[in-house]
Structure 1
Amino acid sequence: MTTSILEALIQLFALFSAGRGKEGIALGRAHAARYMRNQLPKNLVDDSLVRFDELVDQFQRLPGQGKEMKAKRLAKLSVKLLRTCSQINKGLEWHEKHVVVVRLLEYLNEFQDAETERLFLKTVADSFSIPESRVDALLNMVEVPIDQSRLAIPEIFELNSGFLGRRFSGRLIGLHLEEGNLFLIRTADEGNQRINHQDLATGRVALLAPGGTLRDSMGSTMFHSELVAHRQKSISSNESLLLRAEDVSHYFNFPHEQALHQFNFQAEGGQLVGIMGGSGSGKSTLLSVLNGSTKPSFGSVTINGTDIHSRPNGVAGWIGHVPQEDVLIAELTVRENLAFNAQLSLGTQPKEVREARVDEVLTQLGLKEIQDLRVGSVLDKVISGGQRKRVNIGLELLRKPPVLFLDEPTSGLSSRDSEQILDILKELTYAGQLVFAVLHQPSSDLFKMLDRLFLLDVGGHPIFWGNPLDAVKHFNSLASRVHAEECECSSCGNVNPEQLFDIIEAQTVDEYGRKTQTRRTS
């Protein structure tokens, strides 16, 4: 956040608070502080509140006695409000503007001034280009008691005990911000809740972003991926996608050299599944079994009930695979590589259709600007490593396979390039695709993007399947660690995936405190 945007936001809260008496100003200051704590370090929050006090005092000095003077004062404040909103528009994203409006609504809900409320709030919403129907929906989320039905408001969805169980007292309402796939949610829980690593006051609306978690007062958790899956099921008319592995195990040379020990799981369309494990744990073998390249010694892998190994024709065109190595032609340009692959995989379609699909993929992967550059080779570099990886992914995306497998798509890339690749994969899941990716040393942000984690130990032993953050709690508990239930840093919200392997690969020590070659067991 830039200093100019921060100044504009402080001004916005000050404008809404000025002229409301000591109680109203104190309440406005509290709401401004709550908003700033979610955006800034503590020392900057304190500085912001000092600036808030200065601005309120400045706005209070504007003359407002008598009907005419009050009108002039309101006009001056309105002009300042317009300028402030114009400044905010230069720096805040769409979802961030929604959060600002929600925080203002929560303040006005506690300290109402009908005339000023309508005028100022309409000015802010219009400046932010938030439609009236959306403002009405946000107002309903803030003002109307949580137990009242929202069926008459199409933008708001409701979840009850049938989906939540006992979590959040069995009631949650939400609004889906499709751009960015974020959720504004409010629950019926009257205890202390936490959104990611931050406290959430009772009755407040929270913003849940990809990889985020909301924890109720009893310690139960709602994951962002749960809401995404629920929304997709509720609005999709297509048959749901389901990949199921049943009693799968594999040997290189039965009954010797067991590569994968028996496992079961099922993954659904709309999920990003991460496969992690140390060297020699069988990640590549697992990938080849799941994508149909290798038939397992025992068990079956099915997609919507069709066995991919015994009936491969039944799932023809359903599976895509992006290998770790490049499969690009160095002498061709980015566009020519995609066009050549489109001719091979979409050859039955007219040329115009193929060209249009190539354009879609170039735009989707952010490759339009480099489409005419030659791809080059490892020794003759033209485009970056991250761009090469995106082109490789594009070769498979041309066919729109419902299930996509990627072998270490972030290997050798910078943190920024890795994040861009995972962002692309996550966007694919929003359209209902099922994506499996073998990952090596993901950052906290990348780890939290995953919807499911399959963890393998040395020798092909499956040791975890489920939500990635649950994996952290699970292994902390097995290792009897202090604060085992804490899966994120309490101050910054980061997760360290490497701690999983620290626990799994931990060695015992002898009486002299020296590490042995024996693995520690719980």
Structure 2
Amino acid sequence: MREPVLVALMHLFALAESLHLKAFSAKGRTIAASFLRNISRSEEFIKLYDDYLDFYERELKENESPGLQELMVKRLGKKLCRELMLPERLVVLIRLTESFLQDGQLSTSELSFLESIANEFNITIADTKALLDFAQGLTAEWKDRSSLLVIESPETESSDELEGAWIEQNKPISGIRDKVITREGLVGKIEILHLSDARVILFKYSGSSELFINQQKAEPGLLYLLTDGCIIRGNNVSPVYFSEIIGRFYQADKPKIILQGKDISFSFGQKGTGIAPFSFCEESGHLVGIIGGSGVGKSTLLRLLNGQLPLKSGTITINGYDLHRDKFRLQGMIGYVPQDDLLFEELTVYQNLFYNACLCFGNMSKQEITGIVNKTISELGLEEIRDLKVGTPLNNILSGGQRKRLNIGLELMREPSVLLVDEPTSGLSSTDAERVMLLLREQANKGKLVIINIHQPSSNIFRLFDSIWVLDRGGYPVYAGNPIEAVHYFKTIAFHANALENECPVCGNIDTEQILRILEAREIDEQGKLLGKRRRQPEEWYRLYKENILQNDEPKAEKSLLPRHVSGIPSETRQMVVFSKRNLLSKIGNIQYLIIAFLEAPLLALILAWFTRYETESGYFFSENKNIPQYLFMAVIVALFIGLTISAEEIIKDRRILLRESYLNLSWFSYINSKVMYLFALSAIQTMLFVLVGNLILGNHDMIPAYWMVLFSTACFANLLGLNLSSGLKSVI
């Protein structure tokens, strides 16, 4: 518990005793001391409590105005709000409520005090009432119990009750039933409360089983905040994972997505195995991490999942529909964010999102698209930089975290059901990495299946995953399951003495690096030096995986209804307009490109015409200029050169963006036409500038249209040739 939380509680305990609230009357110090009994520096906090109590009692004695209590609560609430985050404010309110409840039900004055504190903490009235009722055990009186989840032991029914049970289960539903999770061996019941406004999950247990939240013992009757990745355990009780709990609240009304792979494998021809046979089954609402060292096949596996690479064997299905055979039905279902930036660097943040949205939502008006873009910018936390140009990673206009969030936003705005992200935290600071991962966790909570690959996650990021897949060298899968259980699994196989200890008992952090350390542990020679040979080869880890983890009886996903997507492909004409506008704005935003494009032709004309201008002693006459044929030949060469230089990189520069947009099944014809129209227009301007400058110097005013037609048609030919080269080559170098 952070120090500001403890300081806040000492503040509130002292204020409660000074106001002579029933539970704290003359025994606030005892309550504070009992609360601090397991806290280091407890004496320091008790002294702090005494100082606060003395301060509040003196202030109340000196000023007996009727509104003083309310004023003191407001003043303290505002002070604490500047120091505590919302979850910490809830912890303070919970602990204060539990302290009041030590003396029985809440009195009117205590209830008023708690409601005032909650109001100053900016906790909504609905969440405050739900929390106080939950703490007092009054939830049975609620008519709407949709925010409650009960975990209990399954009831056994006798054969005489089966007929009545069938009728009860199949009668028309009236009202809202409790959400229930069953666990064999659980004595009593666990109640879970979802505070919808604060988006927080609370836990309370009543019973005699010994339960633990991660490694902290859960005392019966007390309230606990459940955080991402936590596990509820008990003796002879199957674990309850956070993802299972949160899925009951956030995804209850959304169509289920099941991504299933059966014995999928891939190889790089003669180069060896890319991915060894691997089976999996993941559902919507999960955040899945692919973990492993460099070069083990994490990115390759993602490219198999998005359909870019063909499978050597096996099948991948979404709700029973094959990824390769049913491409049309699965259109728009998958979003893919590669590791590299897929942004137009000359456009602003808003323009990148807007023109992407125009290609995703062809059946929407401009106002509707603008609304979606503004909402996406708000969700990504990019409001302050919406009008900044993206720029290159080198000129550092946007931070790495902002660029990564923008890349993810380009996919999120079209609402894919399955989101694949390649190395979202690569090159980011710990703060930016955590912010990006929280964004992806939020998408999973909204019902998406999010799969990412990540090299070495921090402890906080590791807890966000619902499950992880661990790959070893050669593309061998060696683990698939809960991330916290993974630590226990590898430590057990490696015969660690503390195999049951998944996290640090003092700070609660998970040493995520130990998984790879155990995987890649090397043998030791007689001198105690490390050898190059590993203790266990990837093939052995793979064998252990198949023996201990791989489920051979995974249910086959039957074909089920796929969610509808609001995105729709615009018409070919509208696509061409969007491509043209986006291309034109990106060119206008590049000052260096504009200078070269519009000064190159007249400068070359000036040089060429000046050196081919032939003057006699009697002066210059165009009809007597013997260098005109050479000038015309060089002018044609210049037109070819200019036409090629402006077109040779057009498609190559867009290649990665085209790969992302390939999931939209956009028209290649519209894209090429937009490029051709732009290049022809630019070539028309360039050749006109060339002809005007050259012919004015040479004194040939009458043949400007004829010269321009020849050079313009030549430049157009060069444009088409350059586009073909750009489309067929990976680089112009």
* TM-based fold match above 0.5: yes
- Cα 1:512–1:97 change in 2 (3 A) is closer
**In 2, are the aligned partners of 1:181 and 1:210 still within 8 Å (CA)?**
no
Aligned counterpart, 2:431:
416
Which of 40, 43, 46 aligns to 1:42? It is 40
Opposite residue 100 of structure 1, the aligned amino acid is: V
Q: Distance in 1 between matches of 2:447 and 2:144?
A: 27
Could you say which residue in structure 1 is the equivalent of 2:247? 229
Check conservation: 2:349, 2:387, Cα contact below 8 A. Answer: yes
Structure 1 match to 2:499: 484
Give me the whole-angstrom Cα distance separating, in 1, the residues matched to 2:66 and 2:242: 42
Alignment of 1:425 with 2:421, yes or no, is no
Question: Bigger relative contact order, structure 1 or 2, given CA contacts below 8 A and separation 6+?
Answer: 1
Aligned to 1:248: 264
Shift of the 57–220 alpha-carbon distance from structure 1 to 2, 3 Å rule, reads farther
Structure 1 residue 405: Cα displacement: 0.6
Query: How has the CA–CA distance of structure 1 residues 208 and 167 changed in structure 2, closer, same or farther, with 3 Å as cutoff?
Result: farther
The answer to which structure has the higher strand fraction is: 1
Q: Structure 1: how far apart are the matches of 2:246 and 2:523?
A: 42
The answer for the alignment partner of 2:483 in structure 1 is 468
Q: 2:366 aligns with which of 326, 351, 372?
A: 351
Classify 1:268/1:422 alpha carbon distance in 2 versus 1 (closer, same or farther; 3 Å): same
Of 387, 391, 409, 2:402 maps to 387
1:404 corresponds, among 409, 414, 419, to 419
SS at structure 1 position matched to 2:187: helix
The amino acid that maps onto 1:80 is M
Q: Does 1:515 align with 2:530?
A: yes
Contact 2:33 2:46 in 1 (8 A): no
Partner of 1:297: 312
Structure 1 distance, partners of 2:5, 2:79, is: 7
Q: Quick one: distance in 2 between partners of 1:305 and 1:378? A: 41
Residues 7, 408 of structure 1: alpha-carbon distance in 2 compared, 3 angstrom cutoff:
closer
Structure 1 range deviating more: 24-33 or 396-405: 24-33
Which range moved further: 459-468 or 384-393?
384-393
Q: Distance in 2 between matches of 1:264 and 1:210?
A: 26
Q: How is 1:238-277 mapped onto 2 (pairs within 5 angstroms)?
A: 238-253=254-269, 257-277=272-292
Return the alpha-carbon distance in structure 1 between the equivalents of residues 56 and 360 of structure 2: 66
Q: Give 1:280-295 correspondences, 5 Å limit.
A: 280-295=295-310
Tell me if 1:142 matches 2:158. Answer: no
More displaced stretch, 449-458 vs 49-58:
49-58
The verdict on how the C-alpha distance between 1:154 and 1:338 changes in structure 2, with shifts beyond 3 A counting, is closer
Quick one: distance in 1 between partners of 2:531 and 2:137? Answer: 62
Give the SS at the match of 2:275: strand
Secondary structure of 1:169's counterpart equals: coil
> Cα–Cα, structure 1 residues 168 and 296, in superposed 2: closer, same or farther, change >3 Å?
same
Of 69, 72, 91 in structure 2, the residue corresponding to residue 99 of structure 1 is 91
Aligned residue for 2:201? 183
Preserved CA contact (<8 Å) 1:182 1:210: no
Partners in 2 of 1:31 and 1:263 — Cα distance?
53
3-state SS, counterpart of residue 328 of structure 2: helix
Aligned counterparts of 1:30 and 1:221: Cα–Cα separation in 2: 34
Q: Counterparts in 2 of 1:201-220, with a 5 A limit?
A: 201-216=219-234
Measure the CA separation in 2 of the matches of 1:23 and 1:485. Answer: 44
Describe the SS at the equivalent of 2:427: coil
Distance 2:387 2:434 in 1: 24
Contact 1:260–1:460 (CA under 8 A) maintained in structure 2: yes
State whether structure 2 residue 24 is matched by structure 1 residue 24.
no
Matched, 1:171 2:168: no
Instruction: Work out whether residues 8 and 85 of structure 1, in 8 Å CA contact, stay in contact via their aligned partners in 2.
Output: no
Please give the residue correspondences for 1:298-317 in structure 2 after superposition, counting only pairs within 5 Å.
298-317=313-332
SS in 1 for 2:345: coil
| Corresponding position: 1:33 with 2:36 | yes
Q: Distance in 2 between matches of 1:439 and 1:496?
A: 15
Structure 1 pair 131–289 and aligned structure 2 pair: CA distance change class (3 A): closer
- 1:459 Cα shift? 0.7
For residues 195-239 of structure 1, the C-alpha deviation after alignment (integer angstroms, 9 at most, x for no partner) is: 345444332110112233344466864332221122234x31x32
Find the residue that maps to 2:280 and give its secondary structure.
Answer: strand
* Cα distance change on mapping 1:408 and 1:123 into 2, 3 Å: closer
**Per-residue deviation, 1:415:** 1.0
TM, length-normalised to structure 1: 0.87
| DSSP-derived class of the 2:436 partner | helix
Shift of 1:11: 2.0
- What's the offset of the Cα at 1:331? 1.7
Is residue 124 of structure 1 aligned with residue 117 of structure 2? yes
Q: Do the aligned partners of 1:189 and 1:217 also contact (CA within 8 Å) in 2?
A: no
Structure 2 unmatched runs, 5+: 155-180, 542-733
Q: CA deviation at 1:133?
A: 4.9
Q: Which region of structure 1 is more displaced relative to structure 2, 313-322 or 113-122? A: 113-122
Residues 132, 397 of structure 1: alpha-carbon distance in 2 compared, 3 angstrom cutoff:
closer
Query: Hey, what's the Cα distance between the residues in 2 that align with 1:149 and 1:79?
Result: 34
RMSD: 3.2
In structure 2, the CA distance between the partners of 1:347 and 1:188, relative to structure 1 (3 Å rule), is same
Deviation at 1:32, TM superposition (A): 4.3
Could you tell me the percent identity over the aligned residues? 35
Give the residue type in structure 1 aligned to 2:36.
A
Instruction: Indicate the larger mover: 239-248 or 25-34.
Output: 25-34
Note if contact 2:152-2:186 (Cα within 8 Å) is conserved in structure 1: no
Which of 91, 107, 112 is 1:114 aligned to? 107
Alignment partner, residue 13 of structure 1:
13
